[in-house]
Amino acid sequence: MWSILKLWERVLRMAEGGSRYCSKKKDDICYEDSSREISVSRLKCILRGLDFKIYIFLFFLVPTCVYGIYVHGQKITYFLRPLWENPPKPFNEIPHYYHENVSMENLCKLHGWRIREYPRRVYDAVLFSNEVDILNIRWQELHPYVTEFVLLESNSTFTGLPKPLHYAINRKSFDFVESRLTYGQAPGRFRTGENPFIEEAYQRLALDYLLKQAGIQDDDLLIMSDVDEIPSRHTINLLRWCEDIPMILHLRMKNYLYSFEFLVDDNSWRASVHRYQSGKTRYAHYRLSDDVLADSGWHCSFCFRHISEFIFKMKAYSHFDRVRFSHFLNPKRVQKVICKGDDLFDMLPEEYTFKEIIGKMGPIPHSYSAVHLPSYLLENADKYKFLLPGNCLRESG
């Protein structure tokens, strides 16, 4: 840094006549009558005054800066995010009380609610892409308390790519919910180049119509979350039994990446539970309320069995623009990133303060705790070994 400053001072001195080429004599090239001629002559004077080393320095510096901005421009933008975007309004955090030996009446009372005479009906509605393993764990977790499962899938990704109907192909694996399942298909529009969030909104609208076909009624509970955002069963049981719960309640979940070995934080909040209102409730996946219930489940993002599934999602989901270079999709790179706990898209954390950004930079620390995970996952540990600590290697698929 000091050498650069000295170099710049040298350039300025030459511009002001400090070079042997730029004396103050009237017959020197740096002296002209008109202002325009003075400007041109000063430029010529500076260029004549630069020695060969400076030319070499600029030759390497400029392309290096351009290349650095091209490769790491997104990182620079994310790092400077606190300068141009304010953090969202804080949630109203509702403490979450639970123990298997505490009665439901007392649990409702601890939350400031009353117990109902009978539980509400519960509808669990999801848009499905290809998360077969996570869907099974989710439905096994919620099965005791869900009245109707509602699933919509399409033969198109949000980015307009054709895809198989994975649920239809694997439907026999979900016989345990068949009697309580409303299943629908949304034909893809295949509009490549369109903003993927438009296709996502189209499919969420189709899910609203499917919910009506499933028979949802006012004051039924509706779980709105992605497949990989899994509410704990005791959370749903609490909400179906308690009176006076908020009309819309977000669920704060532990945030995992790749498996339950990499705990990012406990700040996943997009999942929500609604007391359904005809003509008013719309299926969405953004902030809809200021209320959030703490420690309500698990969000396991990119938790796949096969490397091919990782690559498919990277190309298919709404943030596909994060795949800035083709080598991001290299299977060997993907496997290496998973085992290290790095970011598949080589991005900085999406946070709103420099302290949080710096604190989360680098690989996610390994966690060796498998306590308080979905019971079906632990009961079938051999089948879902890839989701447990110490098992980062994936099948090629």
Q: What is the mean pLDDT of the chain?
A: 87
Displacement of CA 352 from its chain's centroid (Å): 15
Query: Which of 79-88, 155-164, 273-282 has the highest average model confidence (pLDDT)?
Result: 273-282
Instruction: Express each pLDDT in 229-265 by its tens digit.
Output: 999 999 999 999 999 999 999 999 999 999 999 999 9
What's the confidence (pLDDT) of residue 22? Answer: 43
Greater pLDDT, 3 or 124:
124
What's the confidence (pLDDT) of residue 198? Answer: 86
What three-state secondary structure class fits 354? helix
Question: To which residue do tokens 């219930």 refer?
Answer: 293
C-alpha span between 114 and 117 (Å, rounded)? 10
Domains of the chain by range and CATH?
90-303 (3.90.550)
For 190-199, 345-354, 378-387, which range has the lowest pLDDT when averaged over its residues?
190-199
C-alpha span between 212 and 49 (Å, rounded)? 79
Average pLDDT over residues 189-204: 84
Instruction: Express each pLDDT in 66-98 by its tens digit.
Output: 656 655 666 677 678 888 888 899 999 999 999
- The angle at the Cα of 39, spanning 38 to 41, to the nearest 5 degrees, equals 65
- The angle at the Cα of 126, spanning 121 to 341, to the nearest 5 degrees, equals 125
Residue 78's H or E segment, with its range, is helix 52-79
Closest listed residue to residue 146, CA positions, set 175, 124, 165, 131: 124
Closest listed residue to residue 188, CA positions, set 199, 179, 177: 199
From the CB of residue 160, how many other CB atoms can be counted at a distance below 10 Å?
18
- The angle at the Cα of 208, spanning 206 to 213, to the nearest 5 degrees, equals 95
Residues written for the chain? 397
Checking if the pLDDT of 35 tops 60, the result is no
Is the distance from CB of 266 to CB of 202 less than 8 angstroms? no
What's the confidence (pLDDT) of residue 250? Answer: 98
Greater pLDDT, 141 or 7:
141
Average pLDDT over residues 212-229: 98
